Structure 1
């Protein structure tokens, strides 16, 4: 896993943990309950999921081979 993939995955895991805790009635992020209610927590989780998994993560063996070919041919940013 490259650094960016790790960061996106970590943010998603934290957002999912937060979502579960808010859903069960706990408030892990400091602030008022009204501000960090289920709506905002859900929006953060959805945003993190979109950011994390709609990127080219290259986490499988096939994906890593694709990344190597792209890098070798100068086709990545």
Structure 2
């Protein structure tokens, strides 16, 4: 795995951990409002996953495609 992939995986794991902590009321963010806390956590998770997905899609599209050469 390359460096970018590892960073994406770690970022998604942090976002998922944050979501679980918010779910159980143990948020690492120092915000008093529960609604704001949940919205910020959801936005962080969505943005992180989208960035990882777009990066993976670009990497997949950049791979050279193999051509099947048939001899006649």
TM-score by length of 1: 0.65
The structure 1 segments of at least 4 consecutive aligned residues displaced by more than 6 Å after TM superposition are none
Q: CA RMSD in A?
A: 2.4
For the pair shown, the structure with the greater C-alpha radius of gyration is: 2
Please tell me whether the aligned partners of residues 22 and 37 of structure 1 are also in contact (alpha carbons under 8 angstroms). yes
**Structure 1 segment 32-51 matched on structure 2, within 5 A:** 32-34=31-33, 37-51=37-51
Please tell me whether the aligned partners of residues 27 and 33 of structure 1 are also in contact (alpha carbons under 8 angstroms). no
Gaps of 5+ in 1: 71-77
Gaps of 5+ in 2: 66-72
Count of paired positions: 62
Inter-partner Cα distance in structure 2 for 1:33 and 1:9:
29
**Aligned residue in 2 for 1:12:** 12
Larger helix proportion, structure 1 or 2?
Answer: 2
Inter-partner Cα distance in structure 2 for 1:20 and 1:54:
24
